[in-house]
Amino acid sequence: MATIDGLPPLGTVIAAHGLSARKALGQNFLLDLNLTAKIARQAGDLAGSDVLEVGPGPGGLTRGLLAEGARRVLVVEKDARCIPPLEEIRAAYPDRLEILRADALDLDPLAHLSPPVLIVSNLPYNVGTELLTRWLDTPDWPPFWTSLTLMFQREVAERIVAVPGNKAYGRLAVLAQWRSDPRIVMELPPEAFTPPPKVRSAVVHVTARAVPRYPADARTLFRVTKAAFGQRRKMLRASLKGLAPDIEDRLRTAGIAPTDRAERLSLEAFCALAREISRS
């Protein structure tokens, strides 16, 4: 059967390299190249950008990114068994694919990529939230990336885009929505993957804003949301009492009722409170 790039179908590649999926590495592979090309298109125009892909596995999404015209793709894969099939893709796209066998948690992306950088990945579930938090929580803003196009378990995607009052609303929503615009752009059933996971998945597209939505000191906002959502069912005057001795006055000055709870507080209110706490 003809493929988008003339390379063998992924089922053939996996069989040829004996790539049985390993649960410990979060390996649920996408084998439909039309689907991986569609995911690659969610990142927008790839032609003028370098792309970082974490966890390429046998290279389904990598092939989608290259076929859709990415200037360069850097793939970072922990599993040595995936390197030979990735080398075969590199042979078909000389100069456009760099392969690193490494743990993505140890990577310094700017040592390998030139801006503008897009991050597009079907993330392993075991490190997905950790990587997203690091990319959203960079000390400098705007960050090194222009946008993130990431596949997560549906439940994690919902936590990223959640609004106050929703049970999924928490620190991840505040972090993602403070300096970026996240939205869910695709949903995938378990059958889209080999082997199928137990849950549905979703692709989230996150665009970095030039400036944060509301002013606040990043470290203080981090401390406030950590304390507030750490005890999300408590009233804020109780969950935040360790942040300042006069927390009730500070909450009122920020326009927040001390009896309110974290899950009902808007992003704007969290930022006002972070400013109020940084004042001392």
Q: Which residue is nearest to ligand SAM (CB)?
A: 55
- Shortest gap between Cβ of 38 and ligand SAM (angstroms)? 12
User: What is the Cα–Cα distance from 218 to 175, expressed in whole angstroms?
Assistant: 9
Q: Is 46 exposed, middle or buried (0-12, 13-18, 19+ CB in 10 A)?
A: buried
- Residue closer to ligand SAM by CB (options 28, 239) is 28
User: Considering beta carbons, is residue 125 or 141 the nearer one to ligand SAM?
Assistant: 125
SS3 for 85-123 is HHHHHHHHCCCCEEEEECCHHHCCHHHCCCCCEEEEEEC
Residue 174: which of 119, 235, 220, 124 has the closest Cα? 220
Tell the smallest beta-carbon distance from residue 39 to ligand SAM (Å).
8
CB 269 to ligand SAM: min, Å: 36
Site residues (vs ligand SAM, CB under 6 A): 25-30, 54-57, 60-61, 76-79, 82, 103-105, 122, 124, 127
Here the tokens at position 47 are 């032609």
Residue 68 CB, nearest approach to ligand SAM (Å): 15
Contact status, residue 261 vs residue 232, Cβ threshold 8 Å:
yes
Among residues 11 and 164, whose Cβ is nearest to ligand SAM? 11
**Quick check: helix, strand or coil at residue 205?**
strand
Q: Which is nearer to ligand SAM, 188 or 271 (CB)?
A: 188
Question: Is the CB of residue 87 less than 8 Å from the CB of residue 98?
Answer: no
CB 28 to ligand SAM: min, Å: 5
CB of residue 170 vs ligand SAM: minimum separation in angstroms? 24
Please count the residues of the chain: 280
Which residues, other chains included, contact 116 with Cβ-Cβ below 8 Å and sequence gap of 6+? 48, 49, 50, 146
| Residue appearing with tokens 């972090």 | 175
Nearer to ligand SAM, 204 or 277 (CB): 204
Alpha carbons 201 and 187: distance in angstroms, whole number:
6
Closer CB to ligand SAM, residue 31 or residue 273?
31
